[in-house]
Structure 1
Amino acid sequence: MDAVEEWRAAYGRVTDLVGSLGAEEAARRVPACPDWTVRDLLSHMIGLDADVVAGDEPDDHNSTWTQRQVDARAGRTVGELLEEWRSLVGPLTGWMQEFTTRPLGDLVIHEQDLRGALGRPGARDNAGLLSLRDRMLGRFEARLGAARPIALYGGSWQWCSSGPASDAEVVVRASEFDLARALMSRRSAAQIRRWTERGDVAPYLPAFETLGPLPADELDD
Protein backbone atom coordinates (compact mmCIF):
# COMPACT_ATOMS: atom_id res chain seq x y z
CA MET A 1 0.00 0.00 0.00
CA ASP A 2 1.19 3.49 -0.87
CA ALA A 3 -0.11 5.25 2.24
CA VAL A 4 0.48 8.75 0.89
CA GLU A 5 -1.56 7.95 -2.22
CA GLU A 6 -4.27 6.45 0.00
CA TRP A 7 -4.28 9.73 1.95
CA ARG A 8 -4.64 11.69 -1.28
CA ALA A 9 -7.51 9.45 -2.39
CA ALA A 10 -9.32 9.84 0.94
CA TYR A 11 -8.72 13.59 0.87
CA GLY A 12 -10.30 13.72 -2.58
CA ARG A 13 -13.32 11.72 -1.45
CA VAL A 14 -13.89 13.93 1.59
CA THR A 15 -13.57 17.20 -0.33
CA ASP A 16 -16.07 15.86 -2.88
CA LEU A 17 -18.35 14.80 -0.02
CA VAL A 18 -18.44 18.15 1.76
CA GLY A 19 -17.60 20.62 -0.99
CA SER A 20 -21.19 21.49 -1.84
CA LEU A 21 -22.72 21.29 1.64
CA GLY A 22 -25.21 23.94 2.67
CA ALA A 23 -25.29 25.52 6.11
CA GLU A 24 -27.94 23.09 7.37
CA GLU A 25 -25.93 20.00 6.46
CA ALA A 26 -22.72 21.50 7.84
CA ALA A 27 -24.53 22.06 11.15
CA ARG A 28 -25.61 18.44 11.52
CA ARG A 29 -24.40 16.57 14.58
CA VAL A 30 -21.94 13.74 13.91
CA PRO A 31 -23.22 10.57 15.65
CA ALA A 32 -19.70 9.15 16.03
CA CYS A 33 -18.45 12.47 17.49
CA PRO A 34 -21.62 13.76 19.17
CA ASP A 35 -20.02 16.90 20.61
CA TRP A 36 -19.25 18.12 17.09
CA THR A 37 -21.11 19.17 13.97
CA VAL A 38 -19.97 18.24 10.48
CA ARG A 39 -18.22 21.61 10.23
CA ASP A 40 -16.57 21.05 13.62
CA LEU A 41 -15.29 17.63 12.63
CA LEU A 42 -13.92 19.02 9.38
CA SER A 43 -12.22 21.76 11.41
CA HIS A 44 -10.56 19.12 13.57
CA MET A 45 -9.41 17.11 10.55
CA ILE A 46 -7.82 20.15 8.95
CA GLY A 47 -6.49 21.47 12.25
CA LEU A 48 -4.81 18.15 12.97
CA ASP A 49 -2.99 18.28 9.64
CA ALA A 50 -1.95 21.89 10.28
CA ASP A 51 -0.63 20.99 13.73
CA VAL A 52 1.26 17.95 12.41
CA VAL A 53 3.02 20.09 9.82
CA ALA A 54 3.79 22.69 12.51
CA GLY A 55 5.23 20.06 14.85
CA ASP A 56 2.46 20.49 17.42
CA GLU A 57 1.20 16.93 17.99
CA PRO A 58 0.91 15.43 21.49
CA ASP A 59 1.29 11.68 21.80
CA ASP A 60 -2.19 11.23 23.24
CA HIS A 61 -4.16 13.48 20.83
CA ASN A 62 -5.96 14.75 23.92
CA SER A 63 -9.35 16.47 23.86
CA THR A 64 -7.91 19.89 24.76
CA TRP A 65 -5.68 19.74 21.69
CA THR A 66 -8.43 18.58 19.33
CA GLN A 67 -11.00 21.07 20.64
CA ARG A 68 -8.50 23.89 20.16
CA GLN A 69 -8.41 23.01 16.47
CA VAL A 70 -12.18 23.37 16.28
CA ASP A 71 -12.32 26.59 18.30
CA ALA A 72 -9.59 28.22 16.22
CA ARG A 73 -11.74 27.78 13.10
CA ALA A 74 -15.08 28.81 14.56
CA GLY A 75 -17.15 30.83 12.15
CA ARG A 76 -15.35 29.71 9.00
CA THR A 77 -17.42 28.37 6.13
CA VAL A 78 -16.84 24.93 4.67
CA GLY A 79 -15.34 26.62 1.62
CA GLU A 80 -12.86 28.53 3.75
CA LEU A 81 -11.92 25.36 5.61
CA LEU A 82 -11.32 23.49 2.37
CA GLU A 83 -9.15 26.33 1.10
CA GLU A 84 -6.94 25.92 4.17
CA TRP A 85 -6.84 22.15 3.65
CA ARG A 86 -5.76 22.53 0.02
CA SER A 87 -2.82 24.65 1.19
CA LEU A 88 -1.72 21.82 3.51
CA VAL A 89 -1.72 18.95 0.98
CA GLY A 90 1.83 19.54 -0.24
CA PRO A 91 3.41 20.15 3.18
CA LEU A 92 1.55 17.27 4.82
CA THR A 93 2.27 14.66 2.15
CA GLY A 94 5.91 15.73 2.23
CA TRP A 95 5.91 15.33 6.01
CA MET A 96 4.39 11.85 5.71
CA GLN A 97 7.02 10.80 3.20
CA GLU A 98 9.76 11.94 5.56
CA PHE A 99 8.37 10.81 8.91
CA THR A 100 5.25 8.63 9.23
CA THR A 101 1.95 8.11 7.45
CA ARG A 102 0.01 8.14 10.73
CA PRO A 103 -2.27 11.04 9.58
CA LEU A 104 -3.89 8.60 7.15
CA GLY A 105 -5.58 6.84 10.07
CA ASP A 106 -7.32 9.95 11.32
CA LEU A 107 -8.60 10.76 7.84
CA VAL A 108 -9.87 7.21 7.23
CA ILE A 109 -11.74 7.15 10.55
CA HIS A 110 -13.34 10.55 10.16
CA GLU A 111 -14.30 10.06 6.51
CA GLN A 112 -16.71 7.38 7.69
CA ASP A 113 -17.84 9.54 10.62
CA LEU A 114 -18.76 12.28 8.14
CA ARG A 115 -20.51 9.82 5.86
CA GLY A 116 -22.60 8.61 8.77
CA ALA A 117 -23.65 12.15 9.66
CA LEU A 118 -24.55 13.00 6.07
CA GLY A 119 -26.17 9.66 5.19
CA ARG A 120 -23.80 9.08 2.28
CA PRO A 121 -22.14 5.66 2.66
CA GLY A 122 -19.11 4.72 0.60
CA ALA A 123 -15.39 3.90 0.59
CA ARG A 124 -15.94 0.81 2.69
CA ASP A 125 -13.34 -1.36 1.00
CA ASN A 126 -10.03 0.37 0.34
CA ALA A 127 -6.42 -0.26 1.30
CA GLY A 128 -6.30 2.61 3.77
CA LEU A 129 -9.29 1.32 5.73
CA LEU A 130 -8.01 -2.27 5.76
CA SER A 131 -4.55 -1.15 6.86
CA LEU A 132 -6.05 0.81 9.74
CA ARG A 133 -8.20 -2.17 10.68
CA ASP A 134 -5.06 -4.28 11.03
CA ARG A 135 -3.37 -1.58 13.12
CA MET A 136 -6.39 -1.39 15.44
CA LEU A 137 -6.44 -5.18 15.57
CA GLY A 138 -3.00 -5.01 17.18
CA ARG A 139 -4.36 -2.66 19.86
CA PHE A 140 -7.39 -4.90 20.35
CA GLU A 141 -5.23 -7.97 20.83
CA ALA A 142 -2.98 -6.18 23.32
CA ARG A 143 -6.03 -5.12 25.33
CA LEU A 144 -7.32 -8.71 25.55
CA GLY A 145 -4.57 -9.65 27.98
CA ALA A 146 -5.04 -13.22 29.21
CA ALA A 147 -8.63 -13.50 28.01
CA ARG A 148 -9.60 -16.77 26.36
CA PRO A 149 -9.57 -16.80 22.53
CA ILE A 150 -12.04 -14.68 20.59
CA ALA A 151 -12.64 -15.03 16.85
CA LEU A 152 -13.89 -12.36 14.46
CA TYR A 153 -15.57 -13.46 11.21
CA GLY A 154 -16.16 -10.87 8.50
CA GLY A 155 -17.08 -12.39 5.16
CA SER A 156 -13.88 -13.63 3.54
CA TRP A 157 -11.78 -12.23 6.40
CA GLN A 158 -11.34 -13.87 9.78
CA TRP A 159 -9.05 -13.52 12.78
CA CYS A 160 -8.58 -15.35 16.06
CA SER A 161 -6.60 -14.18 19.07
CA SER A 162 -5.13 -17.63 19.69
CA GLY A 163 -5.31 -21.03 18.06
CA PRO A 164 -7.89 -22.12 15.47
CA ALA A 165 -10.98 -19.94 15.17
CA SER A 166 -13.17 -23.03 15.47
CA ASP A 167 -12.01 -23.44 19.09
CA ALA A 168 -12.55 -19.82 20.14
CA GLU A 169 -14.45 -19.17 23.36
CA VAL A 170 -16.33 -16.29 21.73
CA VAL A 171 -17.24 -15.81 18.06
CA VAL A 172 -18.36 -12.47 16.65
CA ARG A 173 -19.65 -12.46 13.06
CA ALA A 174 -20.54 -9.34 11.07
CA SER A 175 -19.58 -7.64 7.81
CA GLU A 176 -15.90 -6.95 7.35
CA PHE A 177 -16.65 -3.23 7.38
CA ASP A 178 -18.62 -3.40 10.63
CA LEU A 179 -15.85 -5.36 12.34
CA ALA A 180 -13.27 -2.86 11.11
CA ARG A 181 -15.31 0.00 12.53
CA ALA A 182 -15.88 -1.92 15.77
CA LEU A 183 -12.10 -2.18 16.13
CA MET A 184 -12.00 1.62 15.81
CA SER A 185 -14.50 2.02 18.70
CA ARG A 186 -17.24 2.97 16.23
CA ARG A 187 -19.81 0.31 17.10
CA SER A 188 -21.91 0.07 20.25
CA ALA A 189 -21.79 -2.70 22.83
CA ALA A 190 -25.34 -3.63 21.80
CA GLN A 191 -24.25 -4.13 18.19
CA ILE A 192 -21.27 -6.27 19.16
CA ARG A 193 -23.48 -8.37 21.45
CA ARG A 194 -26.00 -8.86 18.63
CA TRP A 195 -23.24 -10.11 16.33
CA THR A 196 -21.94 -12.61 18.90
CA GLU A 197 -22.97 -16.09 17.87
CA ARG A 198 -21.05 -18.02 20.51
CA GLY A 199 -20.03 -17.29 24.08
CA ASP A 200 -20.33 -14.21 26.28
CA VAL A 201 -18.70 -11.18 24.67
CA ALA A 202 -19.25 -8.89 27.68
CA PRO A 203 -15.77 -9.41 29.23
CA TYR A 204 -14.21 -8.65 25.83
CA LEU A 205 -16.04 -5.38 25.20
CA PRO A 206 -13.37 -3.19 26.88
CA ALA A 207 -10.84 -4.50 24.34
CA PHE A 208 -12.89 -2.86 21.57
CA GLU A 209 -12.27 0.55 23.21
CA THR A 210 -9.09 1.06 21.21
CA LEU A 211 -9.87 4.75 20.63
CA GLY A 212 -12.07 5.48 23.62
CA PRO A 213 -15.43 4.41 25.03
CA LEU A 214 -17.86 2.60 22.75
CA PRO A 215 -20.73 4.80 21.52
CA ALA A 216 -23.98 4.65 23.42
CA ASP A 217 -26.00 4.71 20.20
CA GLU A 218 -25.71 2.32 17.28
CA LEU A 219 -23.70 3.57 14.30
CA ASP A 220 -23.98 2.55 10.65
CA ASP A 221 -20.87 4.19 9.14
Structure 2
Amino acid sequence: MTGPDPIAEWSAAHERVCGLVEALSADALERRVPACPDWTARDLLAHMIGLGADVLAGDEPDDHHAGWTQAQVEARRDRSGAELVAEWRALAPDLVAWMADHGSRPLNDVVIHEQDLRSAVDRPGARDTAGFALVRDRMAERFGRSAPDGLALVGDTWRWGPLDAPTRLRASDFDLGRALTSRRTAQQLRSWTEAGDVAPYSDAFAGLGDLPAHALPE
Protein backbone atom coordinates (compact mmCIF):
# COMPACT_ATOMS: atom_id res chain seq x y z
CA MET A 1 0.00 0.00 0.00
CA THR A 2 1.26 3.47 -0.86
CA GLY A 3 0.32 6.72 0.78
CA PRO A 4 -0.92 7.32 4.31
CA ASP A 5 -2.64 4.52 6.19
CA PRO A 6 -6.24 5.68 6.77
CA ILE A 7 -6.66 3.45 9.82
CA ALA A 8 -3.54 4.93 11.41
CA GLU A 9 -4.90 8.38 10.59
CA TRP A 10 -8.19 7.47 12.29
CA SER A 11 -6.25 6.40 15.39
CA ALA A 12 -4.27 9.64 15.37
CA ALA A 13 -7.42 11.78 15.04
CA HIS A 14 -9.17 9.74 17.72
CA GLU A 15 -6.33 10.34 20.15
CA ARG A 16 -6.15 14.04 19.29
CA VAL A 17 -9.85 14.44 20.08
CA CYS A 18 -9.57 12.44 23.30
CA GLY A 19 -6.64 14.60 24.42
CA LEU A 20 -8.47 17.78 23.47
CA VAL A 21 -11.57 16.80 25.43
CA GLU A 22 -9.51 15.85 28.48
CA ALA A 23 -8.04 19.36 28.48
CA LEU A 24 -11.44 21.10 28.33
CA SER A 25 -13.54 22.29 31.22
CA ALA A 26 -17.09 21.06 31.72
CA ASP A 27 -18.31 24.51 30.68
CA ALA A 28 -16.36 24.35 27.43
CA LEU A 29 -18.02 21.04 26.58
CA GLU A 30 -21.40 22.78 26.82
CA ARG A 31 -20.57 25.28 24.08
CA ARG A 32 -22.69 25.11 20.96
CA VAL A 33 -21.03 23.73 17.83
CA PRO A 34 -21.42 26.26 14.99
CA ALA A 35 -21.22 23.55 12.33
CA CYS A 36 -23.85 21.43 14.15
CA PRO A 37 -25.88 24.10 15.97
CA ASP A 38 -28.35 21.69 17.55
CA TRP A 39 -25.49 20.09 19.49
CA THR A 40 -23.06 21.09 22.19
CA ALA A 41 -19.44 19.98 22.05
CA ARG A 42 -20.33 17.14 24.41
CA ASP A 43 -23.23 16.10 22.16
CA LEU A 44 -20.90 16.08 19.16
CA LEU A 45 -18.45 13.87 21.03
CA ALA A 46 -21.32 11.55 22.00
CA HIS A 47 -22.23 11.21 18.32
CA MET A 48 -18.62 10.46 17.34
CA ILE A 49 -18.48 7.69 19.95
CA GLY A 50 -21.95 6.44 19.14
CA LEU A 51 -21.13 6.11 15.47
CA GLY A 52 -18.26 3.78 16.31
CA ALA A 53 -20.40 1.77 18.72
CA ASP A 54 -23.20 1.41 16.17
CA VAL A 55 -20.80 0.43 13.40
CA LEU A 56 -19.45 -2.34 15.60
CA ALA A 57 -23.00 -3.45 16.42
CA GLY A 58 -23.91 -3.62 12.73
CA ASP A 59 -26.34 -0.71 13.08
CA GLU A 60 -25.34 1.73 10.34
CA PRO A 61 -28.02 3.02 7.96
CA ASP A 62 -26.85 4.07 4.53
CA ASP A 63 -28.05 7.63 4.98
CA HIS A 64 -26.80 8.26 8.57
CA HIS A 65 -30.18 9.95 9.15
CA ALA A 66 -30.85 12.46 11.90
CA GLY A 67 -32.82 10.03 14.05
CA TRP A 68 -29.90 7.61 14.10
CA THR A 69 -27.33 10.25 15.04
CA GLN A 70 -29.58 11.88 17.66
CA ALA A 71 -30.16 8.52 19.33
CA GLN A 72 -26.39 8.24 19.83
CA VAL A 73 -26.45 11.58 21.62
CA GLU A 74 -29.48 10.80 23.78
CA ALA A 75 -28.04 7.44 24.87
CA ARG A 76 -25.06 9.32 26.36
CA ARG A 77 -26.91 12.36 27.65
CA ASP A 78 -25.88 11.91 31.30
CA ARG A 79 -22.21 11.02 30.75
CA SER A 80 -19.35 13.35 31.57
CA GLY A 81 -16.55 14.19 29.19
CA ALA A 82 -14.26 11.79 31.05
CA GLU A 83 -16.81 8.98 30.82
CA LEU A 84 -17.27 9.59 27.10
CA VAL A 85 -13.52 9.53 26.47
CA ALA A 86 -13.21 6.29 28.45
CA GLU A 87 -15.96 4.69 26.35
CA TRP A 88 -14.33 5.78 23.09
CA ARG A 89 -10.91 4.55 24.10
CA ALA A 90 -12.42 1.18 25.05
CA LEU A 91 -14.09 0.93 21.63
CA ALA A 92 -11.01 1.95 19.65
CA PRO A 93 -9.20 -1.43 19.37
CA ASP A 94 -12.33 -3.19 18.11
CA LEU A 95 -13.09 -0.39 15.68
CA VAL A 96 -9.54 -0.49 14.31
CA ALA A 97 -9.95 -4.23 13.75
CA TRP A 98 -13.34 -3.63 12.09
CA MET A 99 -11.81 -1.08 9.70
CA ALA A 100 -9.09 -3.53 8.73
CA ASP A 101 -11.83 -5.90 7.52
CA HIS A 102 -14.47 -3.48 6.26
CA GLY A 103 -12.76 -0.26 5.22
CA SER A 104 -11.98 3.07 6.80
CA ARG A 105 -15.26 4.98 6.41
CA PRO A 106 -15.15 6.07 10.08
CA LEU A 107 -12.12 8.22 9.23
CA ASN A 108 -14.41 10.67 7.45
CA ASP A 109 -16.58 11.26 10.51
CA VAL A 110 -13.76 11.74 13.00
CA VAL A 111 -11.76 14.11 10.77
CA ILE A 112 -14.76 16.26 9.84
CA HIS A 113 -16.04 16.47 13.40
CA GLU A 114 -12.59 17.04 14.90
CA GLN A 115 -12.57 20.35 13.06
CA ASP A 116 -16.17 21.08 14.10
CA LEU A 117 -15.17 20.50 17.73
CA ARG A 118 -12.03 22.61 17.45
CA SER A 119 -14.10 25.44 16.03
CA ALA A 120 -16.59 25.23 18.90
CA VAL A 121 -13.97 25.37 21.65
CA ASP A 122 -11.52 27.69 19.87
CA ARG A 123 -8.68 25.17 19.64
CA PRO A 124 -7.54 25.24 15.98
CA GLY A 125 -5.18 22.55 14.78
CA ALA A 126 -4.69 19.37 12.72
CA ARG A 127 -5.42 21.25 9.50
CA ASP A 128 -2.57 19.78 7.45
CA THR A 129 -2.65 16.17 8.59
CA ALA A 130 -2.56 13.25 6.19
CA GLY A 131 -5.99 12.26 7.51
CA PHE A 132 -7.49 15.63 6.59
CA ALA A 133 -5.97 15.32 3.10
CA LEU A 134 -7.40 11.82 2.67
CA VAL A 135 -10.88 12.97 3.63
CA ARG A 136 -10.62 16.02 1.37
CA ASP A 137 -9.79 13.73 -1.55
CA ARG A 138 -12.70 11.42 -0.68
CA MET A 139 -15.10 14.33 -0.46
CA ALA A 140 -13.82 15.74 -3.77
CA GLU A 141 -14.53 12.39 -5.42
CA ARG A 142 -18.03 12.40 -3.95
CA PHE A 143 -18.51 16.03 -5.01
CA GLY A 144 -17.49 15.15 -8.55
CA ARG A 145 -20.24 12.54 -8.81
CA SER A 146 -22.96 15.14 -8.22
CA ALA A 147 -21.47 18.40 -9.56
CA PRO A 148 -21.81 19.56 -13.16
CA ASP A 149 -18.66 19.49 -15.23
CA GLY A 150 -16.58 22.61 -15.62
CA LEU A 151 -15.25 23.46 -12.15
CA ALA A 152 -11.73 23.67 -10.73
CA LEU A 153 -10.81 24.03 -7.06
CA VAL A 154 -7.36 25.53 -6.61
CA GLY A 155 -5.67 25.52 -3.23
CA ASP A 156 -2.21 26.32 -1.91
CA THR A 157 -0.83 22.93 -2.94
CA TRP A 158 -3.96 20.88 -3.65
CA ARG A 159 -6.07 21.05 -6.79
CA TRP A 160 -9.17 19.35 -8.13
CA GLY A 161 -10.31 19.74 -11.72
CA PRO A 162 -8.56 21.28 -14.77
CA LEU A 163 -7.04 24.74 -14.37
CA ASP A 164 -8.74 25.88 -17.59
CA ALA A 165 -12.21 25.00 -16.28
CA PRO A 166 -14.82 27.67 -17.01
CA THR A 167 -15.51 28.10 -13.27
CA ARG A 168 -12.58 28.31 -10.88
CA LEU A 169 -12.49 28.74 -7.10
CA ARG A 170 -9.27 29.60 -5.27
CA ALA A 171 -8.84 29.28 -1.49
CA SER A 172 -6.60 27.58 1.06
CA ASP A 173 -6.28 23.81 1.06
CA PHE A 174 -8.02 23.78 4.44
CA ASP A 175 -10.93 25.97 3.34
CA LEU A 176 -11.53 23.88 0.25
CA GLY A 177 -11.55 20.74 2.35
CA ARG A 178 -14.10 22.27 4.69
CA ALA A 179 -16.17 23.53 1.76
CA LEU A 180 -16.36 19.98 0.40
CA THR A 181 -17.92 18.90 3.71
CA SER A 182 -20.61 21.62 3.57
CA ARG A 183 -18.83 23.86 6.11
CA ARG A 184 -18.57 27.07 4.08
CA THR A 185 -21.29 29.60 3.25
CA ALA A 186 -22.57 30.40 -0.21
CA GLN A 187 -21.09 33.88 0.18
CA GLN A 188 -17.67 32.42 0.97
CA LEU A 189 -17.87 30.24 -2.13
CA ARG A 190 -18.74 33.30 -4.22
CA SER A 191 -15.85 35.25 -2.71
CA TRP A 192 -13.40 32.57 -3.83
CA THR A 193 -14.69 32.50 -7.41
CA GLU A 194 -12.12 33.99 -9.74
CA ALA A 195 -13.76 32.78 -12.95
CA GLY A 196 -17.27 31.72 -13.90
CA ASP A 197 -20.27 31.23 -11.61
CA VAL A 198 -20.33 28.93 -8.57
CA ALA A 199 -24.14 28.97 -8.25
CA PRO A 200 -24.72 25.81 -10.37
CA TYR A 201 -22.52 23.89 -7.93
CA SER A 202 -24.34 24.92 -4.75
CA ASP A 203 -26.25 21.66 -4.36
CA ALA A 204 -23.06 19.63 -4.72
CA PHE A 205 -21.34 21.70 -2.02
CA ALA A 206 -24.34 20.98 0.23
CA GLY A 207 -23.87 17.23 -0.05
CA LEU A 208 -23.52 16.74 3.71
CA GLY A 209 -26.25 19.19 4.68
CA ASP A 210 -27.36 22.76 4.19
CA LEU A 211 -24.55 25.28 3.89
CA PRO A 212 -24.17 27.41 7.03
CA ALA A 213 -25.93 30.76 7.05
CA HIS A 214 -22.94 32.41 8.71
CA ALA A 215 -19.21 31.78 8.40
CA LEU A 216 -17.93 29.33 10.98
CA PRO A 217 -15.46 30.76 13.52
CA GLU A 218 -12.40 28.85 12.35
Q: TM-score, normalised by structure 1?
A: 0.94
Report what 2:103 is aligned to. 100
1:90 aligns with 2:93: yes
Q: Does 2:191 correspond to 1:194?
A: yes
**What residue is the counterpart of 1:65 in the other structure?**
68
1:170 lines up with 2:167 in the alignment: yes
Give the C-alpha shift of residue 204 in structure 1. 1.4
Output the amino acid matched with 1:174: A
> For the residues of structure 2 that align with 1:110 and 1:10, how far apart are their CA atoms?
10
The residue number in structure 2 matching 1:181 is 178
Instruction: Tell me which amino acid in the other structure corresponds to 1:159.
Output: W
2: CA distance between counterparts of 1:148 and 1:171? 12
Equivalent residue for 1:115?
118
Mapped partners of 1:71, 1:21: distance in 2: 21
| 1:51/1:6 CA distance change after superposition, 3 Å | same
Question: 2 CA distance for matches of 1:15 and 1:41?
Answer: 13
Deviation at 1:220, TM superposition (A): 4.3
Query: What is the SS of the residue equivalent to 1:177?
Result: helix
**1:125-144 pair list within 5 angstroms:** 125-144=128-147
Structure-2 separation of matches of 1:23 and 1:185: 28
Moved over 6 A (4+): none
Please name the residue that 1:2 is paired with: 5
CA distance in 2, matches of 1:217, 1:124: 21
Deviation at 1:183, TM superposition (A): 0.5
2:218 is the counterpart of 1:211: no
Query: What residue in structure 2 maps to residue 30 of structure 1?
Result: 33
- Structure 1's unaligned 5+ residue stretches are none
Q: Identity percentage over the alignment?
A: 58
> Aligned partners of 1:8 and 1:68: how far apart in 2?
24
1:17 is matched with which residue: 17, 20, 34?
20
Shift of 1:165: 1.4
- How many residues align? The count is 215
SS at match of 1:172: strand
Structure 1 contact 15–82 (Cα < 8 Å) conserved = yes
Structure 2 length-normalised TM? 0.95
Question: Paired residue for 1:151?
Answer: 152
- Measured after TM superposition, the shift of residue 20 of structure 1 is 2.5
Instruction: Summarize the Cα distance change of 1:220–1:178 in structure 2 as closer, same or farther, 3 Å threshold.
Output: farther
Q: Give, in angstroms, the shift of residue 156 of structure 1.
A: 1.9
| 3-state SS of 2:27 partner | helix
SS of residue in 2 equivalent to 1:26: helix
Aligned partner of 2:9: which letter?
Answer: E
Three-state SS of the structure 2 residue aligned to 1:171 is: strand
Q: Structure 1 CA distance, aligned partners of 2:11 and 2:136?
A: 19
Aligned-residue RMSD, C-alpha: 1.1
Check whether the contact 1:136–1:210 (CA below 8 A) recurs between aligned residues.
no
| 2: CA distance, partners of 1:182 / 1:54 | 31
| CA distance, structure 2, for counterparts of residue 2 and residue 171 of structure 1 | 31
